[in-house]
Amino acid sequence: MTTNWPTADLDPVRRLRVMAAGLHAVMYAEAHVDLPTADVWSVAADLEGELPHLVPMMREFRCRPCGGDRFHGQAYGPFGHTARFDVLLQPGWCLMQSQYVVGAMA
């Protein structure tokens, strides 16, 4: 068996594209923000403060830590619907998964 297998390093945006294609995403959006990543991420990583502004059908999002870069999130819709999310939040990368929804930002 060989140990010289090729590797493919993907930047966070390419990782999102691969995930969207593999999940047959119903909705995928991409926009370039011409600012330093640290500046953008300091806002985007504030899930409780920013997700309700980014996701039209989300009234509120609450997040509590559960170890390291992992969180449990609870999304609240305007008509009383709720969803629990497992969240992985790292610098420049956010992956959120509920029973029916996968969301991500990079």
Q: What residue type is assigned to position 59 of the chain?
A: R
> pLDDT tens digits, residue range 13-64?
999 999 999 998 788 888 889 999 999 999 999 999 999 999 989 999 999 9
Q: Which of 32, 47, 39 is nearest to 103 (CA)?
A: 47
Q: Which of 90, 89, 93 is nearest to 105 (CA)?
A: 93
Q: What is the mean pLDDT of the chain?
A: 92
What is d(CA 104, CA 73) in angstroms, rounded to the nearest whole number?
13
What pLDDT, on the 0 to 100 scale, is given for residue 26? 81
Tell me the two tokens of residue 18.
Answer: 């691969």
What is d(CA 5, CA 67) in angstroms, rounded to the nearest whole number?
33
Q: List Cβ neighbours of 72 (8 Å cut-off, separation of 6 or more).
A: 63, 64, 66, 84, 85, 86, 87
- The domain spans of the chain are 34-105
CATH of 34-105 given 3.30.530.20, 3.20.20.80, 1.20.1250.20, 1.10.1740.10? 3.30.530.20
pTM for this one? Answer: 0.85
Q: Are 92 and 106 in contact (CB under 8 A)?
A: yes
What pLDDT, on the 0 to 100 scale, is given for residue 3? 77
